[in-house]
Amino acid sequence: MKVYRMNLIQLALSLKRLPRERGGMRFLKDVVRTLRVAKRPVPKAFKASLRVVTLGITLLGAIGYLFQLAGSALRMVAAPAVSRDVVVVALAVIAAVTLGAVLYLRSRYL
């Protein structure tokens, strides 16, 4: 137990050396308060969280695999040359659509 307290004291001293605007001691107090308030989840909630995280990781892995598979397949096929003008126009259209969407959402929600 003393080892744990010693590490906590060392942590507090190292955080105290942080610049004041970062609030080293305040951060430590927030961490301690959070640990006091935090409770273990009920098994049902923990299993639900575990399922969601597992599904998310699996989905991201599958998407990454598909991109890797498509990239490998495209390396075997010679892509036709695209002129620079077509690329510039396509990028301009993408930029305009993105800017329009951002401005629309900004005006709607702000």
pTM reported for the whole predicted model: 0.41
Let me know: does 24 contact 18? Beta carbons within 8 Å.
yes
Domain spans, the chain: 2-37
Residue 34: predicted pLDDT: 85
pLDDT band at 4, cuts 50/70/90? very low
Residue 55 has which token pair? 């599904």
Residue 72 has which token pair? 């490998």
Sign of CA dihedral 51, 57, 63, 69: negative
The full DSSP string for 13-42 is: HHHHTS-GGG-HHHHHHHHHHHHHH--PPP
pLDDT digits (tens, 9 = 90+) for 8-61: 666 666 655 555 545 677 888 888 888 888 888 899 999 999 999 999 999 999
pLDDT digits (tens, 9 = 90+) for 64-100: 999 998 888 888 777 778 899 999 999 999 999 999 9
